[in-house]
Amino acid sequence: MSIRNPKQKLYEQFAIVAKALGHPQRLELIEHLAQGPRSVEALAMKLGLPIANVSQHLQTLRRAGLLSAERDGKFVNYRLVDDSGLAAFASVRTVAERHLAEVDRIVRGYFEARDDMEPVTRQELAMRMRDGLVTVIDVRPPDEFALGHVPGAINVPLGDLPARLAELGKDREIVAYCRGPWCVMSFEAVAALRSHGYAARRLADGMPEWRAAGMPVEVAA
C-alpha cells in the first residue's frame, strides 16, 4: 500500500504517545503502574480523583500503546505493556530537570531542604545489603509494598514512622525508598530519621526503577 509522506505519518503516531504523556496525572499513573497492575478503583483512591477521570486517563494511555487491560471479575486491571513507558517518563523528567527553571526552584525549595545529601545508588545499596551494613525501609503503603519490594526491606509507611522508630537501631545506616526519585515520602522519612539522630539516606530512585533495572524483587506472601 502506498503511503503519501510516510515520515509525517510516523510522526503523527509518535505524537500520540507524546500527547498521552503530556498530563501530570497520567505520569503519576505510570509511576503507580510501574509497581504492578492495579484496578481503576485502586488508582482512583491513590490519586484522590473520581473513577471516571482516572478511567479516561487510563484509556488515553492505553490508546497510545502504553497500557494493557484485563478483566478480573467486576474489576478491570491495568498494567504497563513493558518498561518503555517508564523509560519515556524518565526521559521527560530528565529534560525538565536540565532545562526548566521551575523544576530547579522546586527541588531547591522543597526537596533539598529535606535532604541535600548524595543518595545511594542501586548498585551501592545492593553491595551494602549483601555486607549487612544497612537497614532498608520501604515507606510506601502496605498494598504497594505487597506488589514487590527490595528483598529484606522493612515496610514502615511514612505515617507509622514516628511510632516505630524504636524498631530501627542506630548501629547501621538506614536507607529509605518509595515510588521514584522525587517521591516525597522518602525525603520526609530521611528528614524525620535524621532529626531523631539516625544516620539515614535515600535510594537514588524508587521501586519502579529498581524493578526495571532487573534488580531482585521480593513479593509479600
Alpha-carbon distance of 30 to 88, in angstroms, equals: 10
Q: Give the DSSP H or E segment for 208.
A: helix 207-212
Alpha-carbon distance of 168 to 160, in angstroms, equals: 12
Q: Give bridge partners of residue 41 from the DSSP assignment.
A: none
Task: Look up 178 and say whether it is catalytic.
Answer: yes
Could you please report the per-residue DSSP string of 31-83? Answer: HHHTTS-EEHHHHHHHHT--HHHHHHHHHHHHHTTSEEEEEETTEEEEEESST
Quick one: cell of 126?
545492593
From the candidates 178, 192, 200, 212, give the one annotated as an active-site residue: 178
Alpha-carbon distance of 46 to 32, in angstroms, equals: 9
DSSP state of 180: S
Quick one: cell of 86?
517508564
The residues that are catalytic are 178
